[in-house]
Structure 1
Amino acid sequence: MYFGYRALIIETDSQLATQLVKNRMDPLHPYAALLTAIRRKISQDWVVSLVHVYREGNRVADWLSKHSLVYPFGMHELDSPPPELLPLLQDDQRGSTTLRNIVVNSTAPSL
């Protein structure tokens, strides 16, 4: 249990990260130590769901991934959200979303 929560939904915009955490891995994988730490954390006494969401569907995950480069490689736990993240968290709580941009092949025949 973390911060008193008994259930946690982890949303990530990286489908590869989701698969790496959920599936078996080669113990020689370059991220084996990090993946083991993540699995250990999510297997504690709580219910954790790890789901893939598109970047536009969760701007909080997008912001965190972009700003993660300031930290050294490894797992980091934040005691509270960075102040710059608060407006995005409030938007997420209200259910605000953004449109997903899709590139359309302009050479395809039109119907």
Structure 2
Amino acid sequence: MAKFFFDKFYNQPVHIEYLEVQSFELSIYLVKLTVAGETGFVYGKNDNIMRFNSSQHIRDCFAACQVDHAILVHDSPYEEMIGNPPKSSETMAMPFSMTQPY
């Protein structure tokens, strides 16, 4: 899996084939990209996977990029936490708009 460093994308007109936002609890988002056939997570300055604080934070950071397809994936552990049987391995995925609201 490739490593994509954030500074290569911020305010740069990079073509991104696929952008996947992985949503976790408490407003933690990770971004996985496919660029030129290579797939990997976005990393920050300290060589750690970069965390984003909101969906708007992601839109702002990749505003200069051309994104062909973007989705949001959410995998929730809450069913098991409240005593329900384990859920299926399917995660919930939905379209993610990269359009700025303002």
Q: TM-score, normalised by structure 1?
A: 0.26
More strand by share: 2
* Pair member with larger Rg: 1
